Amino acid sequence: MTTYLIGNWKMQLGEPDSEALAKDVVRLWAAQGVGKDGTAVVICPSHMAIEEVAKVVKGTPVALGSQDAFWDDKGAFTGEVSPKTLKELGCEYCIIGHSERRQHLGETDEMVNRKAVALLRNGITPIICVGETMEERRAGKRDAVVIGQVRGALAGVKPVGTQKIIIAYEPRWVIGTGQAVSPSDAAEMHHLILTALNELFPAEVVDRQCAIIYGGAVDAKNLAGFLEVPVIHGVLVGGASLKPQEFVAMAEIIADVRKRP
Ligand code: PGA
């Protein structure tokens, strides 16, 4: 089972800074001779920087992801980004349904679903973000909201061949706060999501083709706690992914934890 370290750079960097950060991550991670098997390090720059970052990561152990994609490959969709073009540029992963897009751009489960289908069709692994707001949590709706988002995103989806699906549980009220939920809180949600996946797909598909990762204020200090939980298959990192030393230190922590018997 692969353990994922996925950096979401959001709209924090321009093109030259993205290129420089990608170079740092590649240099630092490539310098690590061991432990790369089973640790997937993915960086997701803004669309504006994808092409330059793609050149930097090509042929290295660092993979490229996008922060969004449209649900059609081509057509009259002003301002949108084609999943087919992303694939041509070397994208292997794509975040969809991030809470910032749900909040500011009205991204719905139906849109996320269409995007997931388009990405899988193009050979890109969707990283589907789900998570409740503080109000929903306080109202006792946490589980229903998250399960609804998982089911909505995956309606009619059937991963075939080597297609993979990553679900990122990101409690919305935690993102960017520097204060993550406890690993046991995340574990509870991961078990819930796993149950939902097992209702949607055959057990061997869930086992081999689905991963559930945690996101929300993860850094090099709290990462190990999450990795102790067997149902947590990695992390989606915002703020800490902009610091190359810390981000690569996190990749090393993952590789170390994986080496333990
Ligand atoms: P954060 O962001 O690590 O800065 O909380 C995570 C995310 O938005 O994916």
Q: Is the CB of 235 under 6 A from ligand 1?
A: no
Degrees, nearest 5: CA angle 165-202-164: 15
Q: What's the pLDDT score for residue 184? A: 96
Q: What's the pLDDT score for residue 167? A: 98
State how far the alpha carbon of 221 is from the alpha carbons of 135, 178, 217, 249, 257, in Å: 28, 11, 10, 10, 14
Instruction: Give the N- to C-terminal CA distance of the chain in Å, as an integer.
Output: 14
Q: Could you say which of 19, 98, 132, 136 is catalytic? A: 98
Q: Is the CB of 65 under 6 A from ligand 1?
A: no
Closest C-alpha among 70, 4, 86, 14 to residue 43: 4
**Spatial distance between the Cα atoms of 194 and 207, rounded to a whole number of angstroms:** 10
Ligand 1: centre distance to CA 256 (Å)? 23
Q: Annotated catalytic, 233?
A: no
**Spatial distance between the Cα atoms of 1 and 118, rounded to a whole number of angstroms:** 25
Which of 100, 170, 222, 242 for mutating ligand 1's site (highest number of atoms within 8 Å of CB)? 170
User: Which protein residue has the closest C-alpha to ligand 1 atom 3?
Assistant: 238
User: Which protein residue has the closest C-alpha to ligand 1 atom 6?
Assistant: 238
Q: For 240, which DSSP code?
A: G
Q: What's the pLDDT score for residue 35? A: 55
Closest C-alpha among 198, 200, 231 to residue 213: 231
pLDDT in tens, the chain (261 residues): 899 999 999 999 999 999 999 999 999 998 876 556 789 999 999 999 999 999 999 999 999 999 999 999 999 999 999 999 999 999 999 999 999 999 999 999 999 999 999 999 999 999 999 999 999 999 999 999 999 999 999 999 999 999 999 999 999 999 999 999 999 999 999 999 999 999 999 999 999 999 999 999 999 999 999 999 999 999 999 999 999 999 999 999 998 887 776
User: Which protein residue has the closest C-alpha to ligand 1 atom 2?
Assistant: 238
Q: Is the CB of 239 under 6 A from ligand 1?
A: yes
Ligand 1: centre distance to CA 171 (Å)? 10
Q: Could you say which of 107, 132, 170, 190 is catalytic? A: 170
CB atoms within 10 A of CB 179: 10
Q: Is the CB of 237 under 6 A from ligand 1?
A: yes
Whole-model pTM: value is 0.97
Q: What's the pLDDT score for residue 19? A: 98
Ligand 1: centre distance to CA 75 (Å)? 32
Q: Annotated catalytic, 252?
A: no
Ligand 1: centre distance to CA 66 (Å)? 15
Q: Is the CB of 67 under 6 A from ligand 1?
A: no
